[in-house]
Amino acid sequence: MAEKPLREWTKGVLTPIARLISRTGVSPNLLTVVGFLATLGVAYVLALGHQRVAGLLMVPVGLLDAIDGAVARTMSRATRFGAFLDSTLDRFAEIALYLGLLYLYRGTTVETVLIYLTITGSLMVSYTRARAEGLDVECKVGLFGRFERLGVLVLGLVLERTVIALIILAIFSNLTALQRMWHVRKVTMELGEKGDQ
């Protein structure tokens, strides 16, 4: 996935900003909530039919979403609840974006089905990782993590090729979930587990 190298690349940009924000004493969790609310605003713009504007807005909102973790680390206030809150609101934010699309394409069967499949794939990608890590199996493999999904959506919106983006997302999000299922099976088999539950 491209998320890890991107995080390394943006670290030099985010760290000075995080240090500046940390001086204000703003809570990292508050930044997480603000980023979520900003995404709700983008979803509303999307529902109104302004696809290109929504796509462009998703870029600074995405950076805002990355700031909270950097601020938490800078302030030495990274907590398990903060990580949980961030991950949970990320899921709600992604669902909100597709709800905006669902409203925009209401009454059109093909787009509605694609959005449904995309949401399903997105949630299953997150669930398979969470469930695997609950079993002490690291599971960050796969083609389409959150960064890749949002990247494809942004490009689709900005280029006004949203349906093409949805086709790609519907296919590869679900494939990623299947990749993670296969990965967990492989790892557990290597650890000596056999048979079906």
**HSE-CB of 86 using CA atoms within 13 angstroms:** 22
86 labelled catalytic: no
2-to-12, 39, 50, 196 alpha-carbon distances in Å: 17, 22, 28, 33
Q: Which two tokens stand for residue 97?
A: 């974006």
Query: How many other CB atoms are there within 10 angstroms of residue 79's CB atom?
Result: 11
Residues 6+ apart with CB under 8 A from 108: none
End-to-end Cα spacing for the chain: 30
Half-sphere exposure of 146 (CA within 13 A, CB side): 21
DSSP state of 26: -
Whole-number Å distance between alpha carbons of 57 and 62: 9
Residue with tokens 């209401």: 106
65, 86, 90, 136: the active-site residue: 90
Supply φ then ψ for residue 48, to 5 degrees.
-75, -10
Would you please indicate which residues are annotated as catalytic (active-site) residues? Answer: 90
